[in-house]
Amino acid sequence: MAEDSSSASTPLLHRRVSGWCSHVSASLRPKTSVFSELSGAVGDLGTYIPIVLALTLVSNLDLSTTLMFTALYNIASGVLFGIPMPVQPMKSIAAVAVTELPHLTVTQIAAAGISTAAVLLLLGVTGLMSFLYRYLPLPVVRGVQLSQGLSFAFSSIKYIRYNQDFTKTTATKTNDPRSWLGLDGLILALFCLLFLILATGDGGGSRSRSSVGSSSTLSKKERKLLRRLKILSSIPSALIVFLVGLILCFIRDPSIVSDITFGPSKFHVLKITWEDFKIGFLRGAVPQIPLSVLNSVIAVCKLSGDLFPGTDLSATKVSVSVGIMNLVGCWFGAMPVCHGAGGLAGQYRFGGRSGLSVVFLGVGKLILGLLFGNSFVRILSEFPIGILGVLLLFAGIELAMASRDMNSKEDSFVMLVCAAVSMTGSSAALGFICGIVLYLLLKLREMDCQCFGFCDGEPSGDEEALINP
């Protein structure tokens, strides 16, 4: 009774504050070493940097504003979800803005992001997103993940093998083979690739080490192997590779130092017209909405359950999160963003296991945005693209490997057809529709034909022989 009276006398606000503090503490508690969390923080930069750089150079995106808003998104996502939840550019909107003529203006890009966010927010608050997450067939979701992972992997190989100019269309990016030597040559990229493979292995982490055996039955040789794997896994490999890339920026072009100006750009609210909303919605939001629903919400929730057993992300919460981020930031000219399965896979692949990983990333972005402002684009423009390709390769392969749980031939068939259509048709929505139709057709074959009046009673002798030869 004394405990009950004590609990009843505790103010409700105090209990809520205490519960929130406990949630924040649990979300930011590192699951591995701090160095591993730091390494995981940069695991998604292989997609983030090229898209941000292209939008800044082609569409005059305010890099300082984008850095600071995405920094706040990263910090909030790490605290809210407790896993390395990524904040990625909306890729379809970025692709339209950079590659299609006439290029989208900053206000039209913002309008596209706001329109997409409004749809996701509506799906979230009405519960429709949770319905989709609950009833969408897993093979179809795996097909979307596989197509996205392989697309990242194919793009990464192009980054490594060919010179890239993110201010031009895709058709003119990959004509000039990358030289072997130089500060952005093939040898540098291959060296980074080998270093990451040696340090991270297959990305299995403790699962790889557990296959060696339990500590009580290990031989001297096995204990030595386990100790070596533990030392290698503690190396912040992705962070080291990214810092090498930053150093090479200044070595490649020392004039960067004189071009840097300190201080952030001023915030201002965009004046978005109805014409901007019309163009932004039709050209940017329409192709982006299916991708955001499938990859930014459904696939992220599925992948989080695979990578973090016991973690059951709410599709409603993820959808609302994407909606709120863009309904706030896009009005100030920040890049439209979403959560993404590829980013989650990349950050996990390089050691991110808790919300602390993306909080580190957010703090880093915030410092860069406040310190260098828009002049930071001058540094990013000299970043070795081959190194970005290596980081993107690991993120893509990790995402594609989520599809390895398709054990039946039927599920694998649906997944592979969905992935093939998504990649060749350049549309996750088209692959998704084909996957759903194929899944339903296969299930229709297994339905009891008696309900349609096609057959009555027990099968005949000839039919029994066909069923059980």
In a domain, 432, yes or no: no
The string of DSSP letters for 162-207 reads B---TTS-GGGTSSSBPPSSSTTSHHHHHHHHHHHHHHHTTS-THH
Which DSSP symbol is given to 351?
A: T
Residues in contact with 261: Cβ distance below 8 Å, sequence separation at least 6, in sequence order: 372, 373, 375
* Bridge partner residues of 88 (DSSP): 338
First vs last C-alpha separation in the chain: 72
In a domain, 455, yes or no: no
For the chain, which ranges sit under pLDDT 50?
Answer: 1, 3, 6, 170-172, 206-214, 466
pLDDT reported for residue 207: 46
The string of DSSP letters for 19-80 reads HHHHHHHHHTS-SS-HHHHHHHHTTTHHHHHHHHHHHHHHH---HHHHHHHHHHHHHHHHHH
State the Cα–Cα distance between residues 106 and 374, nearest whole angstrom.
Answer: 15
Task: Give pTM, 2 decimals.
Answer: 0.84
Residue 406 phi/psi, 5° resolution? -80, 95
Contact in structure between 109 and 272 (CB atoms under 8 Å): no
Residue 89 phi/psi, 5° resolution? -65, 150
Helix (H) or strand (E) holding 337: strand 337-338
* Bridge partner residues of 162 (DSSP): 177
In a domain, 425, yes or no: no
Q: At what angle do helices 138-161 and 186-200 cross, to 10 degrees?
A: 140
Cα 164 to chain center, whole Å?
22
Domain span at residue 271?
A: 23-211+218-411
Q: What's the number of domains the chain is made of?
A: 1
Q: What is the pLDDT of residues 201-221, one digit of tens each?
A: 877 654 444 444 445 567 778
Residue 145 phi/psi, 5° resolution? -60, -45
In a domain, 436, yes or no: no
In a domain, 240, yes or no: yes
In a domain, 8, yes or no: no
Which DSSP symbol is given to 261?
A: -
Q: What is the pLDDT of residues 226-281, one digit of tens each?
A: 888 878 877 889 999 999 999 999 999 999 998 888 888 888 999 999 999 999 99
Residue type, 244: V
Q: Which tokens is 200 given?
A: 């991270």
Q: Which tokens is 284 given?
A: 């940017």
In a domain, 195, yes or no: yes
In a domain, 428, yes or no: no
